[in-house]
């Protein structure tokens, strides 16, 4: 009797081809950069440049003004986020606690604010903290005035690392929320846009505000 090898071969040649398995592409999540709530430390004062330096040091350590209610939109963003990052500063930590409903928060020093050392002005020259912040940021950005703290180049490199960390999580399909600070969020947003992410929802830089980015 002839072996049935030919029958098997014929069956295999005429069997329907099986398509190779392919990984299903994951749709990138969004990245939302949110600013913390209003801090407790009052801005209603006039300060010299040296006094502002002390004021900023207290601001960096302080928490939120009591009695604030997080906006509904930010609560909804937190509810839908796959991961929530927060700066290690107290004002960001308290903001995270206020909106997270007990969920796990990933705290990371990578998201702290860029420094605001003011230039040295005469003691007779006084400004409110809001305007000292603008002056200090201009001197830091334009003249790299850092008083031995983080330089502009170092902060830009940190913003790039932060952006890449967020992109990695978002490209895995998670919606990402970051609770941090106005200017550093701006820097991270710039890196996101440079990497092909589009600002699709913009509430500016006020307290509790959100800026959401999606992959173009």
DSSP 27: P
**Residue 3 scores a pLDDT above 80:** no
* Mean pLDDT for the stretch of residues 178-197: 98
Q: Is 17 left (phi over 0), alpha (psi -120 to 50) or beta?
A: beta
Structure tokens at 135: 């002056």
Structure tokens at 151: 């330089």
Give the pLDDT band of residue 215 (cuts 50, 70, 90): very high
| Closest to 93 in 3D by CA, of 75, 112, 119 | 112
**Residue 13 scores a pLDDT above 90:** no
The pLDDT tens digits of the residues spanning 96-133 come to 999 999 999 999 999 999 999 999 999 999 999 999 99
Q: What is the pLDDT of residue 158?
A: 98
Q: What is the pLDDT of residue 62?
A: 97
Q: Tell me the CA end-to-end span of the chain in Å, nearest whole number.
A: 67
Check residues 99 and 20 and name the one with the higher pLDDT: 99
Q: Looking at the DSSP assignment, which residues form a beta bridge with residue 214?
A: 198
Residue with tokens 């941090």: 180
The helix or strand, by DSSP H or E, that contains position 178, with its residue range, turns out to be: strand 176-180
Q: What is the pLDDT of residue 26?
A: 76
- Range in 23-27, 43-47, 174-178 with the lowest mean pLDDT: 23-27
For helices 90-99 and 72-80, the axis angle rounded to 10 degrees is 80
Kindly compute the dihedral angle of the four CA atoms of residues 76, 77, 83, 87, in this order, to the nearest 10 degrees.
-110
Q: Is 167 left (phi over 0), alpha (psi -120 to 50) or beta?
A: alpha
Spatial distance between the Cα atoms of 75 and 177, rounded to a whole number of angstroms: 11
Spatial distance between the Cα atoms of 189 and 204, rounded to a whole number of angstroms: 12
Name residues whose C-beta falls within 8 Å of residue 139's C-beta, 6 or more positions apart in sequence: 117, 118, 119, 145
Structure tokens at 212: 């959401």
Q: pTM of the predicted model, to two decimals?
A: 0.86
């Amino acid at each position: 009797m002839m072996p049935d090898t030919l029958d098997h071969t014929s069956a295999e040649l005429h069997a329907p081809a099986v398509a190779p398995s392919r990984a299903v592409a994951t749709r990138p999540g969004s990245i939302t950069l949110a600013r913390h709530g209003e801090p407790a430390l009052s801005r209603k004062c006039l300060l010299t440049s040296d006094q502002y330096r002390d004021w900023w040091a207290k601001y960096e350590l302080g928490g939120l003004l009591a009695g604030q209610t997080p906006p509904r939109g930010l609560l909804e963003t937190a509810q839908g986020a796959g991961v929530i990052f927060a700066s290690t500063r107290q004002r960001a930590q308290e903001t995270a606690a206020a909106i997270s409903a007990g969920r796990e928060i990933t705290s990371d020093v990578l998201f702290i604010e860029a420094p605001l050392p003011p230039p040295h002005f005469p003691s007779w020259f006084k400004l409110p903290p809001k305007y000292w912040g603008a002056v200090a940021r201009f001197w830091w950005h334009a003249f790299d005035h850092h008083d031995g703290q983080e330089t502009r180049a170092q902060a830009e490199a940190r913003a790039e690392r932060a952006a890449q960390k967020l992109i990695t999580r978002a490209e895995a399909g998670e919606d990402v929320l970051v609770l941090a600070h106005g200017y550093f969020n701006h820097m991270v947003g710039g890196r996101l846009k440079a990497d092909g992410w589009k600002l699709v929802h913009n509430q500016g830089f006020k307290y509790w505000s959100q800026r959401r980015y999606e992959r173009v």
